[in-house]
Structure 1
Amino acid sequence: MSGTLGIAVIGTGKMGADHARRIDRMVAGARVAAVADVDGERAKEVAAGLDGCGAYTDPEAALAAPGVDAVLIASPGPAHEEVLLHCLERELPVLCEKPMTPDPAGALRVVEAEARLGRRLVQVGFMRRYDAEYERLKALLDGAELGRPLFLHCRHRNAASPSFFTSEMLIADSVVHEVDAARWLLGQEVTAVSVLTPTASGGAPEGLRDPQFVLLETSGGTVVDVEVFVNCGFGYQVQCEAVCEAGSARIGDGQAMVVQSGGRWGGEIVQDFTVRFADAYDRQLRRWTEAVREGRATGPSAWDGYAAAAVAEAGVTALRSGVRERVSLAERPGLYGGHG
């Protein structure tokens, strides 16, 4: 397309407002044409800082607003499916924050609607695929110079969890990132999930089963383990080590500047995912915008969103039952060729 890409941002909470700012300041050839939020005042506040941006409380009104060519969904997960289906009806390209939907049944309805349309319009916001370290690890594994991957060892730590976090959300909202990253890095589907829980940390809110140890089995025989600890107390850490037949590679150590002073040495641990993955969010938006302008589909697909939701559901079931759960996936439509 020629001209500036007009984007409607649905949801103006922390993520939506941040995406609107990025589009306005960091993405060439795009602008925020409309925003929508159930909190009308919040939507107006975000729109006020954006030239020519309309504010709405109804997502459908924002999709139909003048100058809207594409959509970015950053509203709460339960609201995603309805907006996604409206986007497909209007044939609007859409970048949807994870989860695409909170459950695999809803995600499958989106997949089926897009498959009927016969073209990819949905991209899911698994931003780790755009992180420079993850991209290097992906290239290394694709090159096979270290041989076949045998294990992925992952750590996902937050300084503290939000007050509303539940034990199930450690898997559905946190480990789901490792699920997508593992599928993408390995080019394999997750076939089974097991969850172990030690005695809860004293730093975790009462009743929260934190930390957890999640074991993923894959279609290619690689074993993926994830330590998720959302009240570690010291900062935000995401690490991944691939152990292969002829070597290993690790990312996420976060070692930038190291200071030595007063007989001690050390560095900073970031406290928030928006800092750790700031560059990844920028690259994700730029590449999505570029692809939309060129009429291409790129990035994590609706199928990837569905597969992640199915694995997360199996993980939640395994957490509750203490039993290894197999992952059941629907037949993959031909629209989505290849893994991840």
Structure 2
Amino acid sequence: MGDLLGVAVLGAGHMGADHIRRLDKVVSGARVAAVADPDTDRAGRAVAGIDGASVHSEVEAALDAPGVRAVLIASPGEAHEEALLAAFARGLPVLCEKPMVPGSAGALRVVEAEARLGRRLAQIGFMRRYDAEYRRLKAVLDEGRLGRVLMLHCVHRNVSSPPGFSSAMLIESSVAHEIDAARWLLGQELTAVTVVRPRPSGRAPEGLLDPQFVLFETGGGALVDVEVFVNCGFGYQVRCEAVGETGSARIGEGHGMVLTSAGAAREEVAQDYLVRFADAYDREVQSWVDATRRGRVTGPSAWDGYAASAVAEAGVRAQESGGRVTVELAPRPALYA
């Protein structure tokens, strides 16, 4: 196992357990060396049958475990800043699930800490950049086949929201993916945000303002709109249409099997993001492992994580005020030029 990249996975919940499975069963060139979770019983279940994987309740113990050469952070967002800084202090490369850090101030501290190191260690888990459809759309836009892009129309729907999901989390957690995807697809920063809401759905838990309609402006004059609806009841759907001066391109249509029987046809709709983006997660983690073994860091940067947090923060202010809120970004360090 000495030739394999030993990875410490922080967090053994829904996302962490899936990454543990991925590192053990799907990805080549890596192994799970350690897992940290306050619930050590849960962590133990996640690594059951994996030889050499140690279980810890504390992040530092997992980072210092024998054989650990890299870190995958899949713990709740509030724990990310401390874990990232601990990894930086040890010189360990990191794949950190989004949000990198929920608030822009903490995210900026991570950026500044990495900039002081003078080299990148962190890749942020915006996995849509690794999805086959999103990559094809990016290629179409970069080739200029639609002319200048004027608008992006986005849809983000979930079957239901988890317990404790707040109105702000519709932007901080869900729309965060569209924030990064829009920045990446267009190559432009998002400069202002407005949030408007219809009457809440009867399926939404009491007090949750769901759905919402989020409108972003970009530095290049494009508009990005996002319908986010986290209690739609029927499935997990992510769609994006780019509209340019000479054409349009749409992704996110028809990922399920079509079942035909008894005189009718029915298309299955994915019920979970881990199903819809399974290939993207696999490709993302494999790319991270391959780059890390070569001593490189690629993919979305800590600056991308900071920008997403800053835009989401402005979005929550717009949600609360009902007005248009501009996005203020700190100067970009030369490391991320």
TM range (shorter): over 0.9
Query: Which region of structure 1 is more displaced relative to structure 2, 250-259 or 88-97?
Result: 250-259
What per-residue deviation string (whole Å, max 9, x for no partner) do you get for residues 14-59 of structure 1?
A: 1111101100011111000000001121122223321101110110
Amino acid at match of 2:254: G
What per-residue deviation string (whole Å, max 9, x for no partner) do you get for residues 165-186 of structure 1?
A: 1111100000000000000000
Could you say which residue in structure 2 is the equivalent of 1:322?
322
Could you say which residue in structure 1 is the equivalent of 2:177?
177
Q: Report percent identity of matched pairs.
A: 68
Could you say which residue in structure 2 is the equivalent of 1:118?
118
Does residue 217 (structure 1) correspond to residue 217 (structure 2)? The answer is yes
Amino acid at match of 1:202: G
Measured on the aligned residues, the alpha-carbon RMSD in Å equals 1.0
Amino acid at match of 2:6: G
Q: How does 1:31-42 map to 2 (within 5 A)?
A: 31-42=31-42
What per-residue deviation string (whole Å, max 9, x for no partner) do you get for residues 255-313 of structure 1?
A: 55434443322211111111000000000000000000011111110000000000000
Q: How does 1:93-108 map to 2 (within 5 A)?
A: 93-108=93-108
Contact 2:256–2:270 (8 Å) recurs in 1 = no
Equivalent-residue separation in structure 2 for 1:107 and 1:89 (angstroms): 16
Does residue 287 (structure 1) correspond to residue 291 (structure 2)? The answer is no
Q: Residue 156 of structure 1 aligns to a residue in which SS? A: strand
TM-score scaled by length of structure 2: 0.98
Could you say which residue in structure 1 is the equivalent of 2:67?
67
Q: Residue 48 of structure 1 aligns to a residue in which SS? A: coil
What per-residue deviation string (whole Å, max 9, x for no partner) do you get for residues 69-101 of structure 1?
A: 000001111111001001111110000011101
Amino acid at match of 2:188: Q
Could you say which residue in structure 2 is the equivalent of 1:136?
136
Equivalent-residue separation in structure 2 for 1:25 and 1:82 (angstroms): 29
Could you say which residue in structure 2 is the equivalent of 1:17?
17
Could you say which residue in structure 1 is the equivalent of 2:165?
165
Amino acid at match of 2:318: A
Unpaired runs of 5+ residues, structure 2, are none
Does residue 248 (structure 1) correspond to residue 260 (structure 2)? The answer is no
Unpaired runs of 5+ residues, structure 1, are none
Q: Residue 303 of structure 2 aligns to a residue in which SS? A: helix
Q: Residue 55 of structure 1 aligns to a residue in which SS? A: strand
Contact 2:36–2:62 (8 Å) recurs in 1 = yes
Equivalent-residue separation in structure 1 for 2:330 and 2:55 (angstroms): 39
Amino acid at match of 2:153: H
What per-residue deviation string (whole Å, max 9, x for no partner) do you get for residues 111-160 of structure 1?
A: 00000000111011111111000000001101001111100000000111
Amino acid at match of 1:216: F
CA shift for structure 1 position 197? 0.5
Contact 2:93–2:292 (8 Å) recurs in 1 = yes
Amino acid at match of 1:217: E
What per-residue deviation string (whole Å, max 9, x for no partner) do you get for residues 218-266 of structure 1?
A: 0111100000000111110000000001100000012554344433222
Equivalent-residue separation in structure 1 for 2:84 and 2:255 (angstroms): 39
Does residue 202 (structure 1) correspond to residue 202 (structure 2)? The answer is yes
Amino acid at match of 1:324: R
TM-score scaled by length of structure 1: 0.97
Alignment size in residue pairs? 336
CA shift for structure 1 position 325? 0.3
Could you say which residue in structure 1 is the equivalent of 2:87?
87
Q: Residue 8 of structure 1 aligns to a residue in which SS? A: strand
Equivalent-residue separation in structure 2 for 1:197 and 1:98 (angstroms): 25
